[in-house]
Structure 1
């Protein structure tokens, strides 16, 4: 039955033609008048093992219906993909709204049908999971390195205190520009944290040098800020332009 339907409706390769080093299949199928209606398809003849000719309509039910053009499977289960192109919106916020509307307006059997978000969202979730481990670990290593360089935990904590301010400024800049938080901006935040801590190291090292030279704390802070403001500004500007 399958071979007859394939040959009559879809066509099948019955031979090959060679042209030089290339080969081309010769496709054969029934003419359109013999396959343009369920009745005519039912009149197609099958050949039994004894050689008898049997109409196709006697062994199967032929009717017009609607359905999927293709059926795909993943892990031995039927799989249907719905593609979405998202622009001008936060991916996480969009998915939260989509899940909310699906839960309220779409009814389906959750025991037999499973909904899964994949593609960019899956990659972003995987990246966020890794960043959730890498970023705290990197900040902890930075704190230890700063403590080893300064010898005082208070000064190391003071330099790390610029991180929340840098994050606040970065989020404010994203909001002003109408951008959303994604993997690319998360990588930019990592670079921003590094630049902010580097500027803190430059500033604090100058203040410590002035303190060792006999300056009072207030005078050392004012003089150190005045002397290192331009180098810090140049470093931050180069980092911004580079990113």
Structure 2
């Protein structure tokens, strides 16, 4: 009698084995067969389980195995054909990336792993790392695409660079609010900043076009003999007003929706809350900063 025979007996006699199927109308039910519960409800009863050997001899389970109660893992998990043990970590008042970096540093300095043993961090940290790698590629690509589109629109490198250089000023408001409210940078806020960069560039196009039209509409500014800085300031001041009107409708709508969504949904959307609240000041600060920046740049 081999070890496999004993294990097969324990699996069938204690765990049960499907020996048939019954049909009741349109339903089918499996028929499982195993020893009665009174024969397997304690270690003493398990030791007395009768076993029939291939030689037709009856023995007990205690004759071929040690039956005892011991502690062990509730489940054996493997990954990449290696046994694993999982430890769940929850960060409080800190972002997950910095927590994992501190843990990696502490493990490298204070823990000596046995040969064949390794430590890996997965879950939310792994997703954030993947997102950060993608953002490192997407952010430069986004700025490059914006610059190309601006150059195709104005056909002048200087004006395209003027609009691109204003984008960081539009993002300052969101960064200030994240710091003030104690939020950390995440995938949601990073995605919001990318979207805001496009909206800020759009605002810049509208502002720059209105300012150019205001300057071209003033004949004295096109003549070097009649040009004066006072008239230029007046033209920029009056041109900046109409430029803010169409954009303020869009920005104000985003502001009102974002604030209302943050308040009305409450804690139900806590995961989106940093992005929503930062968006409030992003649009507000964007309109103020660019409205001051473009006239100065021109």
Structure 2 length as normaliser, TM-score? 0.70
Deviations 1:23-82 (A, max 9, x none): 222333333443344443233233222212233233333322110122122222213334
* Superposed displacement of residue 179, structure 1: 2.9
Distance (Å, rounded) in 2 between the aligned partners of 1:241 and 1:98: 41
Q: Which residue of 2 aligns with 1:210?
A: 214
Q: How much is the aligned-residue C-alpha RMSD, in angstroms?
A: 2.6
1:119 matches 2:134: no
Q: Which residue of 2 aligns with 1:12?
A: 17
Runs of at least 5 residues in structure 2 that lack an aligned partner in the other structure? 1-5, 222-230, 259-298
On the 8 A contact 2:206/2:243 being kept in 1, the answer is yes
Distance (Å, rounded) in 2 between the aligned partners of 1:31 and 1:86: 49
Q: Which residue of 2 aligns with 1:58?
A: 63
Of structures 1 and 2, the one with the larger relative CO (CA 8 A, separation 6+) is 2
On the 8 A contact 1:211/1:217 being kept in 2, the answer is yes
* Superposed displacement of residue 101, structure 1: 4.9
Range 168-177 or range 85-94, more displaced: 85-94
1:29 matches 2:34: yes
On the 8 A contact 1:195/1:239 being kept in 2, the answer is no
Name whichever structure is richer in helix by fraction.
Answer: 2
* Superposed displacement of residue 192, structure 1: 0.9
Secondary structure of the 1:161 match is helix
Paired positions, count: 242
On the 8 A contact 1:12/1:29 being kept in 2, the answer is yes
Distance (Å, rounded) in 1 between the aligned partners of 2:235 and 2:21: 89
Q: Which residue of 2 aligns with 1:235?
A: 250
On the 8 A contact 2:146/2:198 being kept in 1, the answer is no
For the structure 1 residues 95 and 193, does the alpha-carbon distance in structure 2 shift closer, same or farther, using more than 3 Å as the test?
same
Distance (Å, rounded) in 2 between the aligned partners of 1:191 and 1:43: 71
Distance (Å, rounded) in 2 between the aligned partners of 1:171 and 1:98: 27
Q: Which residue of 2 aligns with 1:133?
A: 137
* Superposed displacement of residue 198, structure 1: 1.1
Secondary structure of the 2:249 match is helix
Runs of at least 5 residues in structure 1 that lack an aligned partner in the other structure? none
Distance (Å, rounded) in 1 between the aligned partners of 2:30 and 2:10: 19
Distance (Å, rounded) in 2 between the aligned partners of 1:32 and 1:103: 51
Distance (Å, rounded) in 1 between the aligned partners of 2:205 and 2:40: 81
On the 8 A contact 2:215/2:235 being kept in 1, the answer is yes
Deviations 1:118-147 (A, max 9, x none): 233322222222221122112012112212
